Structure 1
Amino acid sequence: MRKNSIKNTRINGEVQKELSMLINREIKDPRISPMTSVVAVEVAPDLKHAKVYISVLGDEEKKQSTYEGLRSAAPYLRTLLAKTVNLRNTPELTFVMDQSIEYGVNMSKLIDDVNKDMVDDLDDVEDVEDVDTDN
């Protein structure tokens, strides 16, 4: 099975959906933030390993504690995943912190700031033009 085949894409999506539900509903570890999202999953073609990209909303300490909690819960999650997803092999889970959501929010904020500055500058120019036409 090729890495980007339709079957592999379907497996990635199914594992992602199940892991999202399992992390939010089954894991009771207080280190894991309730604002944890499974962004993507890449299951190897041989179904032995899976990279799970997670995003955590919060400060760096919360991200690190969530990462440690998920690493310690990986065998338990793998067991639950084996019960819910019918695969020949249940992949070994490796968690990777994904910063793309945080990066996108930061970029959106920067764009909004630039747009606000442009509108303010345009308002200032219009005020100056109004004063010139009154004279």
Structure 2
Amino acid sequence: MSQLRIEKIQELMKQEISQIILQELKDPRIGFVTVTQVEVTRDLSIAKVFVSIMGNDKQIEDTWNGLNSSLGFIRREVGHRIRLRVTPELKFVLDKSLDYSDHIQKLLLQIEKEQEQG
């Protein structure tokens, strides 16, 4: 399968999964979730869905459990919205890149503040 088609499918899946999580899921455990990326295997059998979850540790854990319990529903909805022969098996992966960039930003501000004082 061409790389361009896979990239289009990945972007379409990212948009659709974001919409499903935002509008369709009624699970009260699910808090603020952002789908940052989707990676699909070349044979379209597995899709890794990278999600960033905001909140404290308890909220993150609750949201993570809520998302994983909704995998079947999300996969079925993706199958209805995107016409593929086989809907990929979804696997959520926690994306820590936003937390990491926030941490780096705080460190840079702290260094800047120390340089101004010293």
Provide TM-score, normalisation by structure 2.
0.94
Which of residues 6, 13, 16 in structure 1 aligns to 2:14?
Answer: 16
Deviations 1:94-135 (A, max 9, x none): 1111111011011101101111111222xxxxxxxxxxxxxx
- 1:9 is displaced (CA, Å) by 1.1
* Matched residue, 2:79: 82
- 1:28 is displaced (CA, Å) by 0.7
- 1:85 is displaced (CA, Å) by 1.2
Provide TM-score, normalisation by structure 1.
0.83
- 1:61 is displaced (CA, Å) by 1.4
Matches within 5 A, 1:15-54: 15-33=13-31, 35-54=32-51
Which of residues 86, 100, 116 in structure 1 aligns to 2:97?
Answer: 100
Structure with more relative contact order (C-alpha pairs < 8 Å, separation 6 or more) = 2
Structure 1: any 5+ residue segments left out of the alignment? 122-135
Which of residues 48, 51, 56 in structure 1 aligns to 2:53?
Answer: 56
Deviations 1:37-69 (A, max 9, x none): 011111111111111111101111111111111
How many residues in Structure 1 have an aligned counterpart in Structure 2? 118
Larger radius of gyration: 1
Which amino acid counterpart does residue 58 of structure 1 have in structure 2? G
Query: How far, CA to CA, are the matches of 1:61 and 1:82 in structure 2?
Result: 31
Structure 2: any 5+ residue segments left out of the alignment? none
